[in-house]
């Protein structure tokens, strides 16, 4: 199909032009977005949409291949359009991208439940506003960075290293470590000193 200026028209532009002849603009855009999602596995995300990427971890309970081990073996991002990026941990890290997002990650690396996707951000959670540079003293940032890297015990087996305790959540212990590290810099009202 060509346009009045004899320029070739893309398949998406042709579909949009056809849909506009039979329906209103909003329905035509919805049809194109649905076709894109069905054909590519991605959702069309417009610049006006306030959608944030969502972080996740691949937690392996049992290492089927014998290569990556157990525990948090990879970090990932689920992008607003439904695609996913994964960065593997370990001595030989790599990154991979999937246009079909979570479906592909689970299909390829789920190993019938041996590995699960643990979402770190919720669907309705918006990213935190970035603090103005210089509002948090450098020494407080360093203390916080150190506290975030400090190993915390598993609530089930008390190991500081990766363990195989199903459903063990170290979040509470991590919060205790961070709050203890920041305590000297907080006032009684919870404000930074």
Percent of the chain past pLDDT 90, that is, above it, reads 5
In the chain, domain spans: 11-40, 54-119, 138-185
HEC-encoded secondary structure of the chain: CECCCCCECCHHHHHHHHHHHHCCHHHHHHHHHHHHHHHHCCCCCCCCCCCCCEEEEEEECCCCCCCCCCEEEEEEEECCCCCEEEEECCCCCCEEEECCHHHHHHHHHCHHHCEEEEECCCCCCCCCCCCCCCCCCHHHHHHHHHHHHCCCCCCCCCCCCCCCCCCCCCHHHHHHHHHHHHHHHECCCCCEC
The pLDDT tens digits of the residues spanning 47-71 come to 888 888 989 888 888 777 777 777 8
Whole-number mean pLDDT of the chain? 75
The pLDDT tens digits of the residues spanning 78-131 come to 998 888 999 989 888 899 988 878 778 887 777 667 788 888 877 655 544 545
- What would the mean pLDDT of 170-191 be, rounded to a whole number? 69
The predicted pLDDT at position 87 comes to 93
């Amino acid at each position: 199909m060509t346009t009045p200026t004899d320029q070739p028209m893309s398949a998406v532009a042709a579909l949009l032009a056809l849909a506009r002849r039979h329906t209103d603009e909003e329905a035509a855009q919805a049809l194109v977005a649905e076709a894109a999602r069905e054909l590519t596995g991605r959702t069309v995300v417009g610049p006006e949409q306030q959608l944030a990427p969502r972080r996740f971890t691949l937690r392996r309970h049992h290492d089927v291949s014998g290569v990556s081990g157990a525990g948090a073996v990879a970090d990932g991002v689920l992008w607003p359009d439904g695609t996913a990026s994964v960065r593997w941990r370990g001595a030989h890290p790599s990154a991979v991208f999937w246009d079909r997002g979570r479906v592909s990650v689970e299909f390829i690396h789920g190993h019938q439940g041996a590995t699960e996707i643990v979402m770190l951000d919720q669907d309705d959670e918006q990213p935190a506003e970035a603090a103005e540079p210089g509002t948090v003293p450098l020494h407080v940032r360093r203390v916080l960075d150190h506290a975030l890297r400090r190993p915390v015990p598993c609530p089930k087996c008390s190991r500081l290293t990766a363990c195989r305790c199903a459903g063990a959540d170290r979040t509470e212990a991590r919060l205790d470590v961070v709050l203890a590290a920041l305590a000297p810099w907080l006032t009684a009202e919870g404000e930074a000193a």
